[in-house]
Chain A
Amino acid sequence: MKLSKKMTALCACVVGVALLTTSAFADVLIGSGYYNLKNAAKTTAAKLTNETDNFTIDIAATVKVDDKAIVESTGQTKCDVKNQATEESFKTVDNGKTEDGYTYSDKEESISRDGNTGVYYIYKKTNTGKDSVIENPFNVKGADDVEKIIDAFVGSLQDTVQVEETDGKKMYTGNLSDAQIPPLVNAISSYALKYGILDKNRSEDMGIPYPETNIYVLGASGKAIEGKDGIIESVIGSASASGTDENGAAHTYSVEFSVSITDINNTTVAKPDLEGEDVEYSTSGFELSEKYVGKYKNDIVKQEDNSFVKCGERIFEITSVENGVMAGKYYEVYNNGYQPNTKREFEFSTKVTKGDYFNSFTYTENGEEKTGIIEESGKQNLMVSLDIEMNDDGGYRTKDSSKNFDETFIRVFE
């Protein structure tokens, strides 16, 4: 029997499509190790931030040059998702010098200890309850796009991730070596190594050879273990690069790290006991209080030919701050020969509204109601912006964009 031409074409088409779709479906279903790993990471983040009450993350990292450890760092973060509190501690050995630190943070305050002095700094949060302490990084705005970009970058390297399953646990391993690293990834990482991570000054400080030329990524490898509950229990990884110093000697720069998640629902986060310790308090943002009562001034300066000439002074005076109401005045004093047609001058007694980093107030100038801003500048000085417009996002912008008004006012101590 001889097949007609139409039938032959149809057969070829059917056979082709069958081969193509079965294999492609299998490929999608099996998925690459990379996709499985990515999903595991998402599951882990979602479960840790939503389904668990608390957990502990341990991190360790080592930087080596020619197999000699230069920086070793370990850290532990305890997260209490239920009560929104975290405890972090770290220890770094940098060229023989040890540094350590500790931070406790919850919705109301954060307490950190300076490893060198042993002093505790307590920082009261003003916007309590606005931001949650622990967030799922995959839910952050823009995370989707970042994921797509990374997927495109990874490209065919997705299949270098192997998956092995034993006793309900999954082990992901990946080795990137020699020719596999995409040129763009190699270029960006080499650039980052030369100009970002290690610059010339820093490598001199650390006493390690600075890579001048021939920088390239040697390889990277990693291993992750996913537990029965779908949470990644541990990740270890390493990456190394090679570079030639100014004397023409080649060196290997490598970094190794490990992350492990332990004590799920078995971690306790406790506020440190501060009795008998050195403690310093600070508040976030700025709050106008009585200590700011006083006189503040700056110079009115004009440019004449090619030199600056002082014409007078702007004075901002706060006479009282009581129950959030600020009273005072603003006026200008001019030197002889520089008297302007109109001098800016007004008094105010107004309620101060607290923003994140600044306080706003209203005043009346030439019969018009305007808004002004007070911020701290340094310790005792103030930044005063007059005639501003509030933005919807909580920021503000000055209507007068000329540089004629100097906003920094210096405290006058009589």
Chain B
Amino acid sequence: MSDFRAAYINELYKISKKKKITVTIILSVLAVILTGIVVYAINRFAGIRITGYSEFPTLALSVFSYTLIPLFTAFVCIDMFSSEFVEQTIKITLTGPASRFKVFTAKVLAAATFIAANLLFVMLITLIVSLFINGIPTDLFKIILSYIFEFFPIFVFALMIILICNITKGTVSAFMISILVFLLLNGLGIVFSAYKSFLFTSAFDWYKLFLGSYINFHKIFRVFVILCGYGIMLFGISNYLFDKKEL
């Protein structure tokens, strides 16, 4: 177990040293502040409260869950897999005492940690910005719940990128394909809206299922099982490909 912990800490350390983390932090703060200014300005000049009755953090989540958060997740996952293979730094990791399976799991866990941290960070700054727009949020519990549940579809998305990274050779191709697949899945969800339950991207706004006065637990359970199914499948295939991948 100690070698797994070492591998996990090693991955986290590598992520934290990346310049992309600083960029993520700065961009997130800027995007949140910009959204805040837009929301404030529209109310000031057009008299319309864009956030409605809901809170600014939930509004921000509905925007960022389709834009910044998947984008940063893609960057980090591609860095952890494709870049290391391209730069051959993966050799250093793999020559350590941890088995390939443990290295793979450590990497996936590190990606999950990054997503959770990113969501937590966005939630905190939106909460601070919302103090200036709508005052103190009244329903903090629902806001926290929304951010927690948003973790799951984004994590499945991360697993999909990891799979793409293990199929493709370069970082650019991995990135382009990830973006294409993301857009394609969202597009398919719109065109074949009756069958969109099959696409995990349609679960990107599933936290809204918790926000209403009527909560459809059956539906939430089904979506959760769908996400689990995707998770197990993608993890299994990616792990196999990672194991077979030649240095």
Contact = CB atoms under 8 A, between A and B. Distances in A.
A146 interface: no
Interface stretch (B9-17, B22-30, B84-92, B219-227): B219-227
A373 interface: no
A327 to B, nearest CB: 61
Contacts of A5: 240, 243
Contact of B51 (A155, A216, A242): A216
Q: Which 5 A-B pairs have the closest CB atoms?
A: A12-B236, A16-B233, A20-B229, A19-B229, A9-B240
B53 A213 contact: no
Given A28-B198, A30-B222, A162-B216, 13 more contacts: A8-B240, A11-B236, A12-B233, A15-B229, A16-B232, A22-B225, A24-B197, A27-B197, A31-B194, A178-B212, A183-B63, A214-B47, A243-B47
A90 to B, nearest CB: 32
Contact of B236 (A8, A22, A187): A8
Contacts of B216: 159-160, 162
B190 A180 contact: no
A145 to B, nearest CB: 11
A302 B203 CA distance: 69
B55 A179 contact: yes
Contact of A160 (B197, B214, B235, B239): B214
B180 interface: no
Interface in A172-213: 175-183, 186-187, 190-191, 194, 211-213
Contacts of A159: 209, 216, 219
B181 interface: no
B80 to A, nearest CB: 20
B198 to A, nearest CB: 4
Contacts of B231: 16
B47 A213 contact: yes
Contacts of B239: 8-9, 12
Contact of B226 (A23, A31, A190, A213): A23
B21 interface: no
A18 B225 CA distance: 10
B116 to A, nearest CB: 22
Contacts of A17: 229, 233
B234 A16 contact: yes
Contacts of A20: 198, 225-226, 229-230, 233
A259 B184 CA distance: 40
Which residue of B59, B198, B205 has the most chain A CB atoms within 10 A of its CB atom? B198
B211 A179 contact: yes
A399 interface: no
Given A9-B240, A159-B219, A23 B51 contact: no
A56 to B, nearest CB: 32
A379 interface: no
A32 B194 CA distance: 9
How many A residues are at the interface, by size bracket? Answer: 35 or more
A191 B46 contact: yes
Interface string A357-399: 0000000000000000000000000000000000000000000
11 contacts: A19-B225, A23-B223, A24-B198, A27-B197, A31-B194, A160-B212, A175-B214, A179-B53, A180-B54, A186-B49, A216-B53
Contacts, number: 176
B225 A148 contact: no
Contacts of A27: 197, 219, 222-223, 226
Interface residues of B, number: 55
B164 to A, nearest CB: 16
Given A152-B190, A159-B216, A190-B49, A13 B236 contact: yes
Nearest to A6: B240
Contact of A148 (B48, B49, B193, B218): B193
B50 interface: yes
Interface string A140-178: 000000001001100111011010000000000001111
Contact of A215 (B48, B240, B243): B48
B52 A216 contact: yes
Nearest to A5: B243
A219 B53 contact: yes
Given A12-B236, A17-B229, A156-B208, A28 B47 contact: no
Contacts of A22: 225
A216 B48 contact: yes
Nearest to A160: B212
Nearest to B101: A5
Interface in A209-232: 211-219
A335 interface: no
A181 B58 CA distance: 11
B229 A23 contact: yes
Interface in B182-203: 190-191, 193-195, 197-198, 202
A307 interface: no
B246 interface: no
A286 interface: no
B48 A191 contact: yes
B228 interface: yes
B49 A216 contact: yes
B232 A19 contact: yes
Contacts of B62: 182-183
